[in-house]
Structure 1
């Protein structure tokens, strides 16, 4: 997976039809998705429970783009190898999930995946400074993690801009997750984000039998 800063849309399957994930992934990719974002929640680190390694592994054979797996779990380290085995291309862990984030990022890369670092709205991007050389991606949460469909936190835009300054010319993606739609996408893209996670804003109005709204929604988020 070569690095580029072009704008990428990563639909979150949290907003897809749970009974038909395979076809949903294929449909949204055919309609222009660049990556597929999978939110893993444990009901402990965040107040919701979603998917585990078996689901990620089952989805792997349907994903033709990039499988972007976002762990909202604690602890993370015991599960790194199983998500590598499940086929994750990128594995993102939260800074807030454990005391040894540097070790976690090392372990993710050591397992053959690209390493992502996620930051909650209450966490300053400055904490990422000592960790950037171990990151392939930094995910700035623009909602508090745990549920889809939340309202975008506008104060995070300045955090994205500050992170872009910190990264400089290093090949590190800035991902934004939470409340991204056609209105908020231009704000975060202008601040320096290049991967936009969107759930309901992508899947709204469509289905696997009528996926054309997915494409229209993706184009609207992309800005044309």
Structure 2
């Protein structure tokens, strides 16, 4: 009895040790990238604020309402950037930990999905920076009263853009989520297509919850969510068509 218990505990302890090692490697990777970027922290913030500062009226600039903001805002941005850049390595460590427990067919599907999820997350951030920011900042800086000077606090701006980065990064994962739902058998592509109207409503609800309270930000998130859902639906029909056809033939027999 005690021998079997000790045999069960040894694999558990070895898994915990491996998990700790991989977590330490991930943290170390973030720390190394952070050290490399910290010297350029102010330059990174200037780059991040460019979509807004380019639209500010002449003679105005961003401000710091807190004494510590000039240091902590670039510091926070650098830390977030380090995590974002280290994400492929972090996901690689997660994959290396769970891969031994997967079947070969699951590995063949998981690797492309893992790579695609990383690329789509970065694509969501790029879409927010290059497409969404100029539109919403152009709108916000043009609708204010004439006697009000637009001088945004650097910490408030950072929190605002990081929230949008996260929202759009997660949103661009919708094709992956759609594929996984259909592949797992939880729902079929036909059922999802029949509920398209509900999906559109849910997209706008999430757009309302994940973005600032303005119709422009909500629409710029909700519309891509719907389009990405359609992309995931189309991809599932293409990728899983061969697997679905034999099942339909067998059921017909």
TM-score by length of 1: 0.24
Determine which structure has the larger helix proportion and give its number.
2
Larger Rg: 2
More strand by share: 1
Q: Which TM-score applies when normalising by structure 2?
A: 0.22
